[in-house]
Amino acid sequence: MLASKILLNGEFFEANSSRSSPASIKIGDQRASVFRGDDCISKNIKIIDIQNQKNIYLENESLFVLNDKLTKQQLEPNITKFEKIIRWLEVFSFKRALILSAILIIIIVGFRYLFHSVSSTIVQIFPIKWEQKIGDNAYKGLKLATFKPTQLSAEKIKNLTSKAQKLIQFSGLKITPEIKFHKTNFYGANAFAFPGGPIVVTDQLVKVLKSDTLILAVIAHEIAHIRQRHSLHQIIKAAGATILFSVIFGYDESLIEEASALAISLWLSKKSREFEKDADLVALDILENSGLSKKHLVESFEKLVNHFCGNVDKSDPNTCLNDIETGWFSTHPSFKERLIYLK
C-alpha cells in the first residue's frame, strides 16, 4: 500500500474512542507505528484501509487522520495491477471520458445483441417440464382468483376438445397441452396460453364466435404461443432488462427507478406485440396444415371486433377499428393492424 517508510503528522484516535490527540505515524510495507512525542504508542500495526487519502484505519481498531492527504506517489508503488487499472479508469479527462463512454455504449449495444442470442439459447435448453410447471402454477393461481366452472354443455366441450387435439397434432408441438373451458367475469371473450399449457378458452369466447372453426382458429393462435415458447422468452427478456437497468442506474432514486420500470415496461410491451404477430402468423400455418382455412382467423378477429364495438355502442366496425387503435403500452397489436397483415 505504501512505499518506503515515511513519517507524517496528524491526529490519533484510540480504539472505540472519538477522542483524538496530536501524534505522528511512521508508515511503510502496509504497517504503521504511531508516536506521541518520542513515545511509541502503537507499534508495527497492520494497515487495514486508507480512505480519502488521509484516514488510516489500523488493525487494532484505532484511526490515524493525517493533516495532509497522501500523494499519489506515496500511495501508488505497492498497489496491485488491478487497482492500478481501476485508478487509471477513475482519473477524469475529457478525452478519456469520451472514449470510455463510447466503449460503454458499444458494450451495452453488444450486450443487447448477445442477450438476444443467449436468451434464445436459454429458451432452447430450458426443460419443458419446468416450463409446464410454471404454466400449471400460473393457471392454478388464476383459477383460484378469477376462473369459474364452465357452463358450456359437456357435448360442446368434448367436441371442441377433440378438434383442438387434432389441431395440436398438426402444429408440430411435442407436448399436448390440455384445453380447459372457464366462465370468467373479468376477461370476457378471450383465450390464454400458459407456458407449456394449458390453454384456457372462456365461455364468452365460445358464445361470441359460435362456430367451432372460428374458435379453433383462436386456439391455433394459443397453440402457436406454446410452440414458440413466447412466455418463456418474455420472462427471460424481462429479467435481463431489469438486471441491465439496475446495474446501470441502481436503486438510488425513486424517479429514476420508476422511469427505468416504465422503459422496461414499454420495451416488453413492444416485444409482446411482436410475439402476438408471430403467433398470428404461425397460427395460419397450423390452420393450413390441419386442413382448415386461414380465413377463419381473420373471421374470428372480425367477429371479435364487432363484439367489442357493440359493447362500446359503436355499430360501424370501421369507425370502431379506428378508435380502438392500441398504443405503446399495449401487449397486442391493434385489430386493425392484425387484420391488415393477416389479409
Partner 1 sequence: MEEIDFRGKTKDYFGIWLSNLLLTLITLGIFSAWAKVRRIKYFYNNTEILGHSFGYHATGGQILVGRLIAIAILAIFSAISNQLPLEGQLVSPLAIFFLIPWLLNRSLNFRARMISYRNIRFRWHGTYWRTLLFFILGSFLSIISIGLLLPLISRNYYRYYATYHSFGTSRFTTETKIGDYYKAFFVNALAPALLLTCIFTLLVSGLGLIANNIVGDGVIPRIGLPFLPFTILIFIFVLPIIYGILCRNLMVASLVLGNDAAFGSELKPLWVVWISVSNLLAIIFSLGLLYPWAQIRLYRYLANKTSLEVTGDIDKFVDENTKSIGALGEEYSSLEDIDVSI
Q: Under the rule (CB under 8 A), what is the footprint of partner 1?
A: 13-20, 49, 51-52, 55, 57, 61-63, 65, 86, 89-92, 97, 100-101, 103-105, 107-108, 111, 133, 137, 140-141, 144, 243, 247-256, 258-259, 327
Residue 259 CB, shortest distance to partner 1, in Å, is 6
The answer to whether the beta carbons of residues 53 and 69 sit under 8 Å apart is yes
Q: 23: closest CA among 31, 34, 14?
A: 34
For partner 1, the closer of residues 60 and 211 by Cβ is 60
For partner 1, the closer of residues 55 and 228 by Cβ is 55
For partner 1, the closer of residues 144 and 154 by Cβ is 144
For partner 1, the closer of residues 85 and 340 by Cβ is 85
State the Cα–Cα distance between residues 180 and 197, nearest whole angstrom: 10
Residue 224 CB, shortest distance to partner 1, in Å, is 27
Residue 139 CB, shortest distance to partner 1, in Å, is 10
Residue 8 CB, shortest distance to partner 1, in Å, is 17
For partner 1, the closer of residues 253 and 288 by Cβ is 253
State the Cα–Cα distance between residues 312 and 32, nearest whole angstrom: 81
Sequence letter at residue 317: P
Determine the angle formed by the axes of helices 212-228 and 154-169, rounding to 10 degrees. 50
For partner 1, the closer of residues 93 and 153 by Cβ is 93
Residue 186 CB, shortest distance to partner 1, in Å, is 19
The answer to whether the beta carbons of residues 170 and 286 sit under 8 Å apart is yes
Which are the contacts of 203, defined by CB distance < 8 A and separation ≥ 6? 150, 151, 152, 181, 182, 183, 184
State the Cα–Cα distance between residues 116 and 291, nearest whole angstrom: 35
Q: 229: closest CA among 160, 172, 178, 296?
A: 172
Residue 318 CB, shortest distance to partner 1, in Å, is 16
